[in-house]
Amino acid sequence: MERFYGWQTAPKAANELYDLLKPIWAADTCAPRMRAAWSEANPTKGQCSITAFLVQDLLGGEVYGVPLGDGNYHCYNVVDGCVFDLTSAQFGNERLDYACRFPQSREVHFVKEEKRQRYELLKSRLLSRMAENGKPAEKS
């Protein structure tokens, strides 16, 4: 069973982050335009950019985006040459072209105050879970 795109080759810490994030992704951290489609059955829906920048904070690397048909970008991570996307499950069986990559900037994404606030909320929840689980909150 596929956990997320690139899980087999992703750093161990990325797989650990996925396990920590899965129960804390929620409707209030989902992009507002996608909230109607968010559900506990599809917790990654609308979580891509805030998750990718949070992963970058913890693991380093770069955040890239795959262009989508609606003009938006779906964000994912590249760490030490390894491409992985913790929120890929929101697309079901649709496969994205991760070779078509465009660098993403938090300065551009966080111009939207609501997105920065969702990022801060997810970060706060993640750091709390990490503390509960005895995981260090630093780059590995």
Q: Residue 117 — pLDDT band, cuts 50, 70, 90?
A: very high
User: What is the predicted pLDDT for the residue at 1?
Assistant: 45
* DSSP string over 7-59: TTTS-HHHHHHHHHHTTT--GGGS-GGGGGG-BTTBTTTT-HHHHHHHHHHHH
Specify whether the CB–CB gap between 63 and 77 falls below 8 A.
yes
Does residue 74 lie in a domain region? yes
Does residue 4 lie in a domain region? no
Does residue 62 lie in a domain region? yes
Can you count the helices (H) and strands (E) in the chain? 4, 4
Mean pLDDT of 3-15: 95
Encode pLDDT of 31-73 as tens digits. 999 999 999 999 999 999 999 999 999 999 999 999 998 889 9
Residue-averaged pLDDT of the chain: 93
The range of the structural domain enclosing residue 28 comes to 12-132
Phi, psi of 123 (to 5 degrees): -60, -45
Does residue 109 lie in a domain region? yes
Q: How many domains does the chain divide into?
A: 1
Helix, strand or coil for residue 85? strand
What predicted TM-score, i.e. pTM, was given to this entire model? 0.93
Does residue 5 lie in a domain region? no
Does residue 6 lie in a domain region? no
